[in-house]
Amino acid sequence: MKKIAYFGGTFDPVHKGHLTIGRSLVKLFGLDRFFFLPAFHAPHKPDRPPTSGYHRYAMLCLATCDEQNISVSTLELDKREKRYTIDTLAEIKALHPGSKVFFVMGADSWTDIRTWHDWENLLLSHNHIVVTRPGYEIGFSHVTAGVRERIVDLRNGSTDSAQLTHANPRIYVTDIALIDVSATEIRQDIATDDILDNSDAVPAEVAKYIEKYELYN
């Protein structure tokens, strides 16, 4: 059975922390494919319109062009509308019949999960990977008891195959990619200084793209 993961987010812009997550999860879970899934506009963030999907897609392609197992999906961008993750995941599973599909989210998304459409059903009906990050405390009290029963905590540093082969959907929590990089801070730095000061945070190709098209100024 193939194992495939989709990492949802705005990626505005994609940075080295995102890439570290992709590479680390491919190795940890033995993934056959890892897809970045840029959102057209997240429904639970109505007041934060992202940069054009064309730019975010282009930056993701530049960042992943040399990655063998990592690709970019246009599934949500092609719809050109706000999409609920639970609907997108139904389409993703139909695209990969017979495969084990994981949806990847960051710690901030996990913290805000109750703002997502049909969030409990979403967590109970699909496999998820929650990736922790510095500065975000991962808690479980905000979700229901049924969801908590599905959580598999991989933060102890050791993983065996039995932890990853549950028949029913599970929510895996891992700290395998603790990278303190923030897309929000990158945008703020550019808006304040009109230059990409923290260029080490993004791949060189992405930094050049941001400067060429004057994004976030």
pLDDT tens for each residue of 98-123: 999 999 999 989 999 999 999 999 99
The verdict on residue 133 lying in a domain is: yes
The verdict on residue 146 lying in a domain is: yes
Supply the pLDDT for residue 143.
97
Mean pLDDT over each residue of the chain, to the nearest integer: 88
Half-sphere exposure of 156 (CA within 13 A, CB side): 6
Supply the pLDDT for residue 44.
47
Supply the pLDDT for residue 128.
97
- Over residues 163-210, the pLDDT tens digits come to 777 888 999 999 988 777 888 888 888 887 755 655 678 999 999 999
The verdict on residue 212 lying in a domain is: no
Q: How many structural domains are present in the chain? A: 1
Cβ burial, residue 214 (10 Å; 0-12/13-18/19+): exposed
Supply the pLDDT for residue 177.
81
Place of tokens 């200084």: 193
Q: Which domain CATH number covers 143?
A: 3.40.50.620
pTM of the model: 0.91
Domain that holds residue 35: 3-180
Look at residue 97 and tell me whether its pLDDT is greater than 50. yes
Among 135, 166, 136, smallest CA distance to 151 is for 166
> Looking at per-residue confidence, does 137 or 46 come out higher?
137
The verdict on residue 12 lying in a domain is: yes
- Four-residue CA torsion sign, 99, 153, 60, 37: positive
